[in-house]
Structure 1
Amino acid sequence: MSTIFSRTNPFHAKVLKNVNLNGVGSSKETRHLELSLTGAGLSYVPGDCLGMILQNDPELVNSILEEMKLDAETAVEINKHGETLPLKEALTTNFEITLLTKKIVQQAVGLTEDEKLQELVAVEYADQLKEYVDGRDLLDLLRDYGPWKASAQELVSLLRKITPRLYSIASSISANPEEVHLTIGAVRYTAHGRERKGVCSTLVAERLQEGDSLPIFIQQNKHFNLPESQEKDIIMVGPGTGIAPFRSFIQERAVNKAPGRAWLFFGDQYSATDFLYQAELESYLTDGVLTRLETAFSRDTAEKVYVQHKMVENSKELFEWLENGAYFYVCGDKQYMAKDVHNTLIDIIEKEGMMTREAAEAYLNDMKEQGRYQRDVY
Structure 2
Amino acid sequence: MLILPKRHLVLENDKKTNPSALNEKAGISPPEIISSAVAKNIQKFRNSQPTSKELIDGILSGNITALSRAITLVESTNPDHLIKANEVINACLSHANKSVRIGITGVPGVGKSTFIEAFGKHLTNLGKKVAVLAVDPSSTISHGSILGDKTRMEELVKDPNAYIRPSASGETLGGVARKTRETISLCEACGFDTIIIETVGVGQSETAVHSMVDFFLLLKIAGAGDELQGIKRGIMEMADAIVINKADGDNIKKAKLAKTEFNRALHLFPAKKSGWIPTTASCSALTKEGISEVWQTIEKFLAQTKENDYFYKKRSEQNEYWMLETINEQLKLNFFNNPEIQKLLDSTKKAVQNGETSPFAAAQLLLKTYFK
Normalised by the size of structure 2, how large is the TM-score?
Answer: 0.26
**Higher share in strand:** 1
**Higher share in helix:** 2
Normalised by the size of structure 1, how large is the TM-score?
Answer: 0.26
**Bigger RCO (CA 8 Å, 6+ sep):** 1
Greater Cα radius of gyration, structure 1 or 2? 2
